[in-house]
Amino acid sequence: MSSETKPEEKEEKVGVYICYCGGNISDHVDVEAVRDRVEKIPGVAVARTNMFMCSDPGQELIMEDLRDGIVDRVVVASCAPSLHEMTFRSAISRAGENPYIYEHANIREQVSWVHHGEQATDKATLLVSAATAKAVRLKPLEPIRVNAMSHATIIGGGIAGMRAAVDLADRGIEVALIEKSPFLGGQLALLDKLAPTREKASELVSHLASRVINHASIKVHSCTTVEHFEGYVGNFKVGIKKHPLESNAYKEKMKMLNPVHKSAEAFIPFAGVYSGPVPSAAEELVIDTGVIILATGIKSYTPYQGEYGYGEFPEVITLSDLIRNLAENNNGGSLLEINGRKIKSMAMIHCVGSRQIPGIHPEDASGHLNEYCSRTCCSALLNASNVIRETYPKTRVYEFYRDIRTYGRGQEELYEQASKNRVVFIRFESQEAPEVSKNGYSDEFPLLIKAKDILTFGEEVEVPVDLVVLATGVEPNEISKIVDMMKLPVGPDRFLLEVHPKLRPVELPVSGIFLAGTCQAPMDAGEACSGASGAAVKAAALLSRGYVELDPFVADVDIQKCNGTGACVEACLSDGALELVEMEIDGQKVQRAKVTPAFCLGCGACVAVCPENAIDVNGWTLKQYEAMVNAIVAE
Amino acid sequence: MTLIHHDFADQMDRFGGNTALECFNCGTCAAICPLIYEHFPRKMIRYLQLGAKDRILENAKELWRCLHCGLCSRTCPREADPGEVILGLKRYVVANWRKS
Ligand SMILES: Cc1cc2nc3c(=O)[nH]c(=O)nc-3n(C[C@H](O)[C@H](O)[C@H](O)COP(=O)(O)OP(=O)(O)OC[C@H]3O[C@@H](n4cnc5c(N)ncnc54)[C@H](O)[C@@H]3O)c2cc1C
Ligand code: SF4
Ligand code: SF4
Ligand code: SF4
């Protein structure tokens, strides 16, 4: 670091801009009094106020002073920096100055919203004085620029992973698609006629998978898992491992591969698209990559033993089982047949393993409750009911539900259609769930469902049935190893957590890592593809410049002061950010600390331990802190 | 306890006005009905939906309260035509009165 510019050497000209926030601040802080007081602080060239500093005229005030050379440091006193720090930095850039000559004083959340009267005005003055003292010592900084590889790694080969892969590859970016199974297609490959359009899942999966397999810029790594991870945005290293069949869990599905299917691109019903030979021996590889997209998806919830008779009565099956049976059945009669039994009457039970309520539903073995709605089961169930009623008109269908959540385009129509198809709806309260038991009345129907029906004024109804289908919801796939390696945030629902649900919906807080599809939340296939295309665009935009810029708030070593004790290296929390290197100073070989800015977190752990005060964090130096504290305690 | 008879809804077809399964149980008909009587006519429509024919026969007299003013059919947000369903149920009850 070049030696600290001393305020005495050159007169810095600080401009202070104080915001009324339309009354949000000025109702409690006497903004004009603050202005009068800070104007007198040495180093302050001008102090101005405005109703809304973030408005165009407000920003123009600042830009004009910069362009006129009246000020060369800027302090804005307004709301929290998370809201508008970027706004004001960018105004400074637009005025042709370095955006890092900026300091922010929060006099709304930290003052006007919590203090009143004289005290509020006094505290605002103190905070602005401290910011001004720091601003005097600010120096222009340059963002850290690192090269970014034009390569993306996508983890998960379901519909979302494939969509993102094709979008990125079409944009000219090399893609590695990592799939743990031997098949592409994920959950969608286990479905048939999709809600709400009855499109065939096999066609969607085949279409995308063949584009993936034949794309010159996409390399599919099937039977592969992620084992190692290091690096930073633009320059990640992903260590992967390919597993031979003996050690992977897909033996059963591989049996479905007959010799005809053994070529890539063949869609195998209820398995997916076979994407090429399974490795004969374990193999480890390292992929150098610029960005990572997680698309690890979901699995279907497995009911516990005895949940609505599951595992006790063979006539109780899951929605996934039903979908498969419907697809594989072609008996053609007027009654649905399942496992050779004619189904005259059947019940569908909604919300199994979803929307669980503490105190009502039991936690699973690892202590989890799925409190979320799985979002696809209502529509998938209604879709199946319609298919059944239209194909097998003699099979009666009863739907037991808590709420019908057919939220998307074309989905409410499924409910209407079900009414037209004479599906009977019975509504229950979560605490009074239907009971499935052996039918004691007659042998004609093996099971009886008892429910307290809200729609019949709370009367108890009994429905004799041949089959019970549980609308099992979804759970995120187990990816704790990846979560730990990449330090990703996970919500209480166990799905991955985006930075912001509306403003940054496909980004994870680790720069350069994105999410696509149902690893984020339950979604239908269309929504999973929207998310995936969004992530692909974000990733492509990030890589398009060939480099990425990181904030310059990182540690910086003063080589003149450093004597190589290495205390900083030991204190550093981020692997690879700090090391001792050998160098020659005045003809002597010495050890000195060296920072790799891209890895530095800017936390300052090193600053605290250096006995020589030889290391500092740019933009937050010790001298700057001292000046702020002095300004606060000075009276 | 109400036991459900699977084929009841289809049996109703020949008595006309069998649109009961279009009903989504909003209760608008019961609110507009000038009789203001125990969820009438929705309750009857619900029993038809379920195939609770015992309940309908037990409560058959209620059907004859209906004035056939048509207000319910006019306000029903679905195409359930509750007034017509009541008429259909009357025909069913007349045909089955003695048997029960
Ligand atoms: C019973 C049921 C019925 C449904 N019905 C419909 C419907 O009718 N219409 C509709 O639109 N949607 C429906 N859905 C939802 C649909 O299945 C999902 O929207 C879709 O599958 C999401 O795709 P995805 O790529 O996000 O995840 P997934 O399909 O789950 O794909 C994830 C992929 O990632 C792989 N993977 C996971 N972990 C790793 C790892 N660590 N390393 C490498 N690879 C990994 C998996 O093997 C899998 O191939 C239904 C879901 C269920 C469960
Ligand atoms: S989509 Fe429907 S069945 Fe599924 S959890 Fe939500 S409300 Fe329940
Ligand atoms: S037609 Fe009958 S049921 Fe309908 S509103 Fe009139 S009286 Fe009531
Ligand atoms: S108004 Fe129509 S939909 Fe509503 S309860 Fe009456 S019959 Fe049913």
Residue contact B21–A463, C-beta within 8 A: no
pTM of the model: 0.84
- Other Cβ atoms closer than 10 A to B37: 13
How does the average pLDDT of chain A come out, rounded?
Answer: 93
* B71 lies in some domain: yes
Which tens digit of pLDDT belongs to each residue from A527-547? 999 999 999 999 999 999 999
Rounded to 5°, angle at Cα A441 from A440 and A446 = 65
ipTM above 0.85, yes or no: yes
Nearest CA in chain A to B27: A455
* B3 lies in some domain: no
Which tens digit of pLDDT belongs to each residue from A43-88? 999 999 999 999 999 999 999 999 999 999 999 999 999 889 999 9
Residue contact B49–A441, C-beta within 8 A: no
Above 50 in pLDDT, residue B18?
A: yes
Q: Which two tokens stand for residue A577?
A: 């950010």
d(CA A424, CA A413): 16
Q: Up-side HSE of residue A514: CA atoms within 13 Å toward CB?
A: 32
Place of tokens 């926030």: A21
Helix (H, G, I), strand (E, B) or coil at B41: coil
Rounded to 5°, angle at Cα A35 from A29 and A48 = 115
User: What residues of chain A lie within 8 A of the CB of B10, using their CB?
Assistant: 422
B67/chain A closest Cα distance in angstroms: 24
Helix (H, G, I), strand (E, B) or coil at A588: strand
| Nearest atom in ligand 4 to B20's CA | 7
Q: DSSP label at B15? A: G
Ligand 4-lining residues (CB < 6 angstroms):
B 23-29, 42, 45, 76-78, 80, 82
Q: How much is the pLDDT for A333?
A: 87
Above 50 in pLDDT, residue A142?
A: yes
* B30 lies in some domain: yes
Q: How much is the pLDDT for B68?
A: 93
Strand (E) or helix (H) holding A39 = helix A31-39
Place of tokens 């033996």: A251
- Other Cβ atoms closer than 10 A to A468: 24
Q: DSSP label at A509? A: S
Asked whether the beta carbons of A153 and A293 are under 8 A apart, the reply is yes
Domains, chain A: 1-142 (3.40.50.960), 151-297+479-548 (3.50.50.60), 307-474 (3.50.50.60), 554-617 (3.30.70.20)
d(CA A574, CA A599): 7
d(CA B86, CA B45): 8
Which tens digit of pLDDT belongs to each residue from B56-78? 989 999 999 999 999 999 999 99
Number of domains, chain B: 1
Segment among A98-102, A270-274, A374-378 with least mean pLDDT = A270-274
d(CA A408, CA A527): 10
A332/chain B closest Cα distance in angstroms: 21
Above 90 in pLDDT, residue A359?
A: yes
Strand (E) or helix (H) holding A451 = strand A447-453
Residue contact B47–A456, C-beta within 8 A: yes
Q: Are strands A447-453 and A272-274 parallel, antiparallel or unpaired?
A: unpaired
Which tens digit of pLDDT belongs to each residue from A479-509? 999 999 999 999 999 999 999 999 899 999 8
Asked whether the beta carbons of A549 and A560 are under 8 A apart, the reply is no
* B1 lies in some domain: no
Residue contact B51–A459, C-beta within 8 A: no
* B80 lies in some domain: yes
Asked whether the beta carbons of A531 and A495 are under 8 A apart, the reply is no
Q: What are phi and psi of A448, to 5 degrees?
A: -130, 135
Place of tokens 């709806």: A425
Residue contact B2–A459, C-beta within 8 A: yes
Rg (CA), chain B: 12
Above 80 in pLDDT, residue B98?
A: no
Asked whether the beta carbons of A499 and A488 are under 8 A apart, the reply is no
High-pLDDT (> 90) share of chain B, %: 62
Give the residue numbers spanning the domain of B36.
8-96
d(CA A533, CA A1): 43
Q: What band does A10 get if pLDDT is binned at 50, 70 and 90?
A: low
d(CA A383, CA A387): 6
* B22 lies in some domain: yes
Asked whether the beta carbons of A7 and A43 are under 8 A apart, the reply is yes
Q: How much is the pLDDT for A3?
A: 47
Q: Which two tokens stand for residue B33?
A: 């009905």
Rounded to 5°, angle at Cα A572 from A567 and A576 = 115
Q: What is the mean pLDDT of residues A318-343?
A: 91
Ligand 2-lining residues (CB < 6 angstroms):
A 350-351, 354-355, 373-375, 377-378, 403, 405, 471, 473
User: What residues of chain B lie within 8 A of the CB of A422, using their CB?
Assistant: 9-10, 21
Which tens digit of pLDDT belongs to each residue from A202-250? 999 999 999 999 999 999 999 999 999 998 899 999 999 999 876 556 7
Instruction: Say how many residues make up chain B.
Output: 100
Which tens digit of pLDDT belongs to each residue from B24-58? 999 999 999 998 888 999 999 999 999 998 899 89
Q: How much is the pLDDT for A21?
A: 96
Burial class (CB in 10 A: 0-12, 13-18, 19+), A263: exposed
Q: State the DSSP string of A370-421.
A: --S--SSHHHHHHHHHHHHHHH-TTSEEEEEES-----STTTHHHHHHHHHT
Q: How far is the CA of A158 from the centre of ligand 1 (A)?
A: 6
* B2 lies in some domain: no
Size of interface A-B (CB pairs under 8 A): 53
Place of tokens 């974000």: A538
